[in-house]
Amino acid sequence: MRAVLGLIVILIVAAILAPLLYYGTADPCRMLAREMAADAYKPMAKTLGGDPDDVPESVERPMRLITSQMSGRECSEELWDRWFGSGGNS
């Protein structure tokens, strides 16, 4: 029983820490802004020979402006759709 409970706790901690380590924030709207900025920047970076994973702050800033108008729930739902391709209404 302890092993099962320990495994559940480890999975919960991993689910919380993974996005925090990858995005550097726990705010779903900032995570979404980073995703949107990466989607906008990667094709251009590949074409021009830049690093597609190194998204400049100047690209992310306008995306944060867009996501600042969204609620945390809307950002979370959009992230879920981007990550898992739920095919929602977006």
Domain count, the chain: 1
Residue 32 within a domain: yes
Residue 5 within a domain: no
Residue 31 within a domain: yes
Tokens of residue 85, six digits: 């391709």
Residue 79 within a domain: yes
Residue 6 within a domain: no
CA atoms within 13 A on the CB side of 63: 21
Instruction: Tell me the C-alpha distance between 55 and 40, whole Å.
Output: 9
What is the extent of the structural domain holding 77? Answer: 27-84
Residue 4 within a domain: no
Residue 74 within a domain: yes
| pLDDT the model gives residue 90 | 47
Residue 56 within a domain: yes
Pick left, alpha or beta for residue 71 (phi over 0 → left; psi -120 to 50 → alpha; otherwise beta).
Answer: beta
Query: pLDDT tens track of the chain, all 90 residues?
Result: 899 999 999 999 998 898 899 888 989 999 999 999 999 998 888 888 888 788 888 999 999 999 999 999 999 999 999 988 865 554
| pLDDT the model gives residue 48 | 85
| pLDDT the model gives residue 86 | 66
| pLDDT the model gives residue 3 | 92
Tokens of residue 81, six digits: 């759709």
| pLDDT the model gives residue 87 | 56
